[in-house]
Amino acid sequence: MSLSPAEEKFIKRAIGNNTLEKLEEKLRPERASRAGFLGQEDFLVSTLLEDRATMKKVGVSYTELAKVIYYLTNGWYMKKMKVDQGNDFVYKKQLAVTVYRTMGPQRCPFDDVGLGWSMILVEKLETYDESQKIIKERKDKLKERKDDCSDVILEHLIKTKNNIILTELSPHLIYRHKFFEGKGTPYRMEPAVLIEWFKLGKASK
């Protein structure tokens, strides 16, 4: 792939001190994480550049989006709700949020300071009552299962498409590495969807 000087600079800043080939391999399933940060058919450079084009098109900066996600996953709102595994709440009236504590920390695959402990399942619904209903169903389902909580989330995700999985690592990946994960992983954070759900840029009008 032929890159412009601006694109080369963008990629270099995103991957940091890593070499592209080794990093791309590390992001595959069963390397830095079980599910992986890239699917087997994903490529890091094309993923980063396609998402960069999306961000430019909607007129939202990585910093702006990362701040909103940090507020939800790491910041004041989560602390106020005293969130732990099995706790849940409705955010912005139409986003059903359930927090699952994982079996251990997920370190940033780019080898810097990012760290995540929880999986945060966000589902957009039409009404507040509908959000409350799905939260109850999700909590009841979690009680029935005694294995890895990520299996519960992924099973639910397969059945419904109106979900996004976030972690405390998500805002770091977006802000520092311009990375929303690959389309071939269940943990993909689709930037256009996030921007619409959080009503940023043109979606705020």
Q: What pLDDT does residue 152 have?
A: 52
Label residue 85 by pLDDT band (50, 70, 90). very low
pLDDT digits (tens, 9 = 90+) for 176-203: 999 999 999 888 999 999 999 888 987 6
Of the candidates 45, 186, 166, the one whose C-alpha atom is nearest the C-alpha of residue 100 is 166
Q: What pLDDT does residue 151 have?
A: 54
pLDDT digits (tens, 9 = 90+) for 11-68: 999 999 999 999 999 999 999 988 899 999 999 999 999 999 999 999 999 999 999 9
Contact 132, 89 (CB under 8 A): no
Q: Where are the domains of the chain?
A: 5-204
Label residue 87 by pLDDT band (50, 70, 90). low
Label residue 8 by pLDDT band (50, 70, 90). very high
Of the candidates 173, 187, 169, the one whose C-alpha atom is nearest the C-alpha of residue 74 is 169
Alpha-carbon distance 29 to 155, whole Å? 17
Contact 190, 64 (CB under 8 A): no
Label residue 91 by pLDDT band (50, 70, 90). confident
pLDDT digits (tens, 9 = 90+) for 100-148: 766 678 899 998 877 777 778 787 776 656 656 666 666 665 555 444 4
pLDDT digits (tens, 9 = 90+) for 142-175: 555 444 455 555 555 544 557 788 888 999 999 9
Contact 162, 123 (CB under 8 A): yes
Q: Phi/psi at 177 (nearest 5 deg)?
A: -115, 0
